[in-house]
Amino acid sequence: MRYISTRNADISVSGHRAVVEGIAPGGGLFAPVELPKIENLVHIDDMPYTMRLAHVINLWLDEFSPDELQAVCDDSYDRFDDPAIAPVKALNGGRYALELWHGPTLAFKDMALQLLPGLMRMCADKAGEKRDILILVATSGDTGKAALEGFADQPGVRICVFYPENGVSHAQKLQMITQTGANVDVIAVRGNFDDAQTGVKKIFTDERMIDVLNNHSIRLSSANSINLGRLLPQVAYYAAAYGEMVKSGYIPYGAAINVCVPTGNFGNILAAYYAMGMGVPINRLVCASNCNNVLSDFINTGVYDANREFHLTSSPSMDILISSNLERLLFEISGRDHGQVRRWMDELSRTGRYALNAAQKSALKERFFGGWASEEEVAREIRRVYEEDNYLVDPHTAVAMKVARDYREKTFDNTPMLIASTASPFKFAGSVLRAIMPDIECGDDFACCRALSEVTGTEVPPAIAELAYKPILHNGVCDPADMERALLENLDIRL
């Protein structure tokens, strides 16, 4: 399988190169020349999770043997607390929750980031890359920790995470600064997330820096959600979930489902769109936003307009106004028109806005439904799902539950709805507890977790409980202008 840049028809690479490089030269994203098809979906329900995963990924990375991919998949999911890895739970009324948060950091990022290190190393070896790989991450919270957990102590890889000193939650900060591993660095930046992100981008494009690292046999790479290696495990869990629904008797083989995804950077829902294109019987994709509703507006109006107020919400991983992975969908609905995508992305960076024409808009609406939930609606939904379904959801998942409900009310389409459940409710215990018991005062994150545990009779996940007594290992802080120097210092490289 070859991969082409969404912005340039002349850039074409193999899958393993696309994983190692992360982003195409000139800024485009790598998209497959054509979507591979899943044949034998009928057999997938007999396979354990990691076998389904290897099977689907092999269709995209066909330069590897099934055994090679099976080995790396088998090695990557032993830290999940559910043997099904991504179990599907039946709720009332033909709704199903796809639980993607059973990994070590309790959010869906683990589904891809536990596999990415092994996959990245394999791809680098195949590409003849002998240098060590240095993963650079700027994080607003969840991605940093998930990447650290994935890459810690992986041979041939180092990872350095920059986070805004005062821009992440207390629990998120503790998760990162207590991270163990001989190959990990965590550095606070005196600034906001954009400062950290800009600093990381600068390092990626600084020729002198690349030279210095190269002289120490280090190659830079990224674990961002635009990396093909992040996308493939996500495509796979939609195919796997379909198999799981058949196997559990929720749907007959071949029956169509709809999928609803709480969306930020558009990675997770894009994976569902690709799964649909591969032949998984998915009819409609319901894109759920919080009050940063730039995506649902886009789906409803055909105009993407990021010129609006930015809101901090109870679902912070969806607080985003520029959804990077949307570019891959734009590529498809423009009829794979590289020039058109380039013009849209230029417009976006110049004016913060671009618009589809009527034909493109109807192509989008044929498959996608967009909706959003306010903060009040999210709290009400957490409570409603807890009371009616006896099921606890985090605020991100609640956004999807609410929009899935609205979708059915508006369309009368009662096709079985698979809803992506993207974080453990314990990761956002304060918001969840206040939603189900509005009068409670629970104090700090740990106290809220204990209270939520008592109220619901569910155990606090060890990954959160242990944060209270883990030693702090990383206390480096730097100014945004000093990130390069801080990085070199941490790598013990002297100029």
Ligand X SMILES: *Cc1c(COP(=O)(O)O)cnc(C)c1O
Residues engaged in binding ligand X (CB under 6 A): 107-109, 142, 225, 262-268, 317-318, 396, 422-423
- Residue 278 tokens read as 């591969």
Query: Using the 8-state DSSP alphabet, how is residue 11 labeled?
Result: E
Task: Report yes or no: 185 and 490 within 8 Å, Cβ to Cβ.
Answer: yes
Rounded to the nearest whole angstrom, what is the least distance from the CB of residue 474 to ligand X in the complex?
Answer: 22
Q: What are the tokens at 168? A: 């992440």
DSSP 199-240: HHHHHHH-HHHHHHHHHTTEEEEE--TTSHHHHHHHHHHHHH
Between 134 and 433, name the residue whose CB sits nearer to ligand X: 433
In the bound state with ligand X, the residue whose beta carbon lies nearer, of 398 and 487, is 398
Strand partners, 477: 188
Token readout for 344 is 């849209």
How far apart are CB 40 and ligand X at their closest, in Å? Answer: 28
Report the nearest approach of ligand X to the CB of residue 312 (Å). 15
Which amino acid is located at 372 in the chain?
Answer: W
Give me the least distance between CB of 76 and ligand X, in Å please. Answer: 19
To ligand X, the closest distance from the beta carbon of 258 in angstroms equals 17
Nearer to ligand X, 262 or 277 (CB): 262
Distance CA 333, CA 360 (A): 6
Shortest distance, CB of residue 191 to ligand X, whole angstroms?
A: 22
Q: How far is the CB of 198 from ligand X (least distance, A)?
A: 19
- How far the first Cα of the chain sits from its last, in Å, is 41
Q: Quote the CA–CA distance of 134 and 5 in Å, as a whole number.
A: 23
Nearer Cβ to ligand X (13/382): 382
* Nearer to ligand X (CB atom), residue 183 or residue 324: 324
- Note the maximum CA span of the chain: 65
| The token pair that represents 435 in the structure block | 């939603």
For the CB of residue 30, give the shortest distance to ligand X in the complex, in Å.
Answer: 17
Query: In angstroms, what is the minimal distance from the CB of 266 to ligand X?
Result: 5
Do 268 and 351 touch, CB atoms closer than 8 A? no
- State which residue, 6 or 263, has the beta carbon closest to ligand X: 263
CB of residue 465 vs ligand X: minimum separation in angstroms?
Answer: 20
Q: Who contacts 407 (Cβ-Cβ below 8 Å, separation ≥6)?
A: 258, 260, 284, 286, 369, 371, 413, 417
Range list of H helices, 302-337? 326-333
Measured from the CB atom, is 109 or 361 closer to ligand X?
109
Residue placing its CB nearer to ligand X in the complex, 142 or 185: 142
Q: 204: buried, middle or exposed (CB in 10 Å: 19+, 13-18, 0-12)?
A: middle
In terms of CB distance, is 58 or 224 closer to ligand X? 224
> Which tokens is 25 given?
């030269």
Token output for 488: 């070199």
Task: Tell me the two tokens of residue 174.
Answer: 């503790």
Using a 10 angstrom Cβ sphere, with 0-12 exposed, 13-18 middle and 19 or more buried, the burial of residue 343 is middle
Q: Which two tokens stand for residue 274?
A: 């690709």
Which is it for strands 282-289 and 476-478: parallel, antiparallel or unpaired? Answer: unpaired
Q: For ligand X, give the closer residue by CB, 51 or 223.
A: 223
Q: Is residue 396 a contact partner of residue 289, using CB atoms and an 8 Å limit?
A: no
